[in-house]
Amino acid sequence: MSAQRVDWVDTAKGICIIFVVMMHSVLGVEAAAGETGWMHTIVAFAAPFRMPDFFLISGLFLSNVIKRDWKLYLDRKVVHFAYFYVLWMTIQFAVKAPVFVGELGAMGAIEFYLVSFVQPFGTLWFIYMLPVFFLVCKVAHDRGVPWQIMLGVAAILQIAPIHTGWLLVDEFASRFVYFYAGYIFAPQIFKLADWARERVSLSLVLLLAWGIVNGGLVYLGWSGLPLIALALGAAGAGAIILTSALIVQMGRMEFLRHFGQNSIVIYLAFFFPMGVSRVILLKLGILDIGTISLIVTTVSVISPMILFWMIRKTGLGWFLFKRPEWAHLTGTFGRKRQPQAAE
């Protein structure tokens, strides 16, 4: 990312990470309980734009770094995410190992772990996909591939019914267009945010209209159809940009910006408090499924931030969220700004 943070971008990332954690929390609770709750409607409404906006925001600042030499670029945009993927994939696997051994046997569990290096593991697939996107963009840039061709191919891949069963292939086809659009249209996206701040009333009207259309298509079951899914993803990303710009303009919900600044911290670590709180609340059995889902979502978002705060206070455990010197390519450690946490 840029060394200078942008308030509405962090706010947008905060909104997105909450929706992502909410999806995993709600669906996990509902699967364990065997019934749906009132929060299922919110998850369904956010489905068309939840990940498209996350990837679009991730591509916004790529133009600042894409001209770097290959070694530094690989260190910052590939090795960086590979470190956190392998670390947290191993942590998640260790936590769930008893279940895997019980279902697959010891050798089956080991094989499953090894396959996770080529088939993204659980909730961490986003961390796995980012370096792939960064690599593809760098190669296309250095080879001089016209952006119109790249964007067109990416759109075709998103529209095409590609379902191979391999998460790497399927998610690349489904999501790359948004990441690349964030990279290519970054200037226009920043202008859109400025436009929203200057036209609050009109922006609110547009958001209302978008919400009705998005909700209506989700309700009709059309939101996943070819072309419609692409359009809703783009429109939803625009809606989050408008919403974030307006929130910042009004000086509200500062916690969203804080969550956005540390969105990857939340993304990496939310799985454990999510699982624990889900088990406890379902065993208690005193709340409805929707309320349990809300509590699990809240705990899952806040707990990683508490862990991060404890690490900053004690200085212990930085390796969980800050890449150590040994995990850098030779000669790249200390070059330019070092991130304070996983970006």
- What's the pLDDT tens digit per position in 114-141? 999 999 888 899 999 999 999 999 999 9
Tell me: pLDDT of 280 over 90: yes
Q: In this structure, which amino acid lies at residue 268? A: L
DSSP string, 55-116: HHHHTTTGGGTTTS-HHHHHIIIIIHHHHHHHHHHHHHHHHHHHHHHHHHHHHHHHHHHHHT
What is the model's pLDDT at position 244? Answer: 95
What would the mean pLDDT of 291-308 be, rounded to a whole number?
Answer: 97
33: confidence class by pLDDT, cuts 50, 70, 90: very high
What is the model's pLDDT at position 253? Answer: 84
What would the mean pLDDT of 232-245 be, rounded to a whole number?
Answer: 96
- Please give the backbone phi and psi of residue 282, each rounded to the nearest 5 degrees, phi first: -70, -35
What is the model's pLDDT at position 331? Answer: 86
Tell me: pLDDT of 259 over 80: yes
Tell me: pLDDT of 241 over 80: yes
Distance of alpha carbon 152 from alpha carbon 136, whole angstroms: 15
What would the mean pLDDT of 295-303 be, rounded to a whole number?
Answer: 97
> pLDDT, tens digit, for every residue of 165-214?
898 999 999 999 999 999 999 999 999 999 999 999 999 999 999 999 99
Point out the least confidently predicted range of 133-142, 204-213, 227-236, 252-261.
252-261
Kindly list the distances between the CA atom of residue 134 and the CA atoms of 34, 119, 128, 129, 321, in Å, as whole numbers in the listed order.
Answer: 39, 18, 11, 9, 20
What is the model's pLDDT at position 294? Answer: 97
53: confidence class by pLDDT, cuts 50, 70, 90: very high
In our burial notation (b when 16+ CB lie closer than 10 A, e otherwise), range 182-202 reads bbbbbeebbebbeebbeeeee
Give residues with Cβ within 8 angstroms of 257, minimum separation 6.
7, 10, 11, 14, 248
What would the mean pLDDT of 221-247 be, rounded to a whole number?
Answer: 95
Distance of alpha carbon 256 from alpha carbon 252, whole angstroms: 9
Distance of alpha carbon 292 from alpha carbon 37, whole angstroms: 9
338: confidence class by pLDDT, cuts 50, 70, 90: very low
Take residue 205 and report the two structure tokens written for it. Answer: 């009207």
What is the model's pLDDT at position 6? Answer: 87
Kindly list the distances between the CA atom of residue 112 and the CA atoms of 51, 124, 193, 239, in Å, as whole numbers in the listed order.
Answer: 26, 15, 44, 39
Q: What is the pTM of this model?
A: 0.91
Q: What separation, in Å, do the N-terminal and C-terminal C-alpha atoms of the chain show?
A: 8
What would the mean pLDDT of 267-282 be, rounded to a whole number?
Answer: 95
Tell me: pLDDT of 250 over 90: no
Exposed / middle / buried, residue 60 (Cβ in 10 Å: 0-12, 13-18, 19+): buried
336: confidence class by pLDDT, cuts 50, 70, 90: low
What is the model's pLDDT at position 4? Answer: 47
Kindly state the percentage of the chain with pLDDT values over 70: 96
What is the model's pLDDT at position 47? Answer: 95
What is the model's pLDDT at position 171? Answer: 94
Take residue 46 and report the two structure tokens written for it. Answer: 């956010």
Tell me: pLDDT of 231 over 50: yes
Secondary structure element (H or E) that encloses residue 334, with its range: none
Q: How many C-beta atoms lie closer than 10 Å to residue 336's C-beta?
A: 10
Distance of alpha carbon 102 from alpha carbon 67, whole angstroms: 49
Tell me: pLDDT of 24 over 90: yes
What is the model's pLDDT at position 317? Answer: 94
Kindly list the distances between the CA atom of residue 51 and the CA atoms of 16, 150, 283, 341, in Å, as whole numbers in the listed order.
Answer: 8, 20, 31, 21
Q: Angle at CA 299, nearest 5°, toward 101 and 279?
A: 40
> pLDDT, tens digit, for every residue of 59-102?
999 999 999 999 999 999 999 999 999 999 999 999 999 999 99
Chain mean pLDDT for the chain? 92
Q: What share of the chain is helix, strand, coil (3-state, %, to 5)?
A: 75, 0, 25
What is the model's pLDDT at position 335? Answer: 63
Take residue 121 and report the two structure tokens written for it. Answer: 């593991």
Take residue 210 and report the two structure tokens written for it. Answer: 């978008």
Distance of alpha carbon 96 from alpha carbon 215, whole angstroms: 36
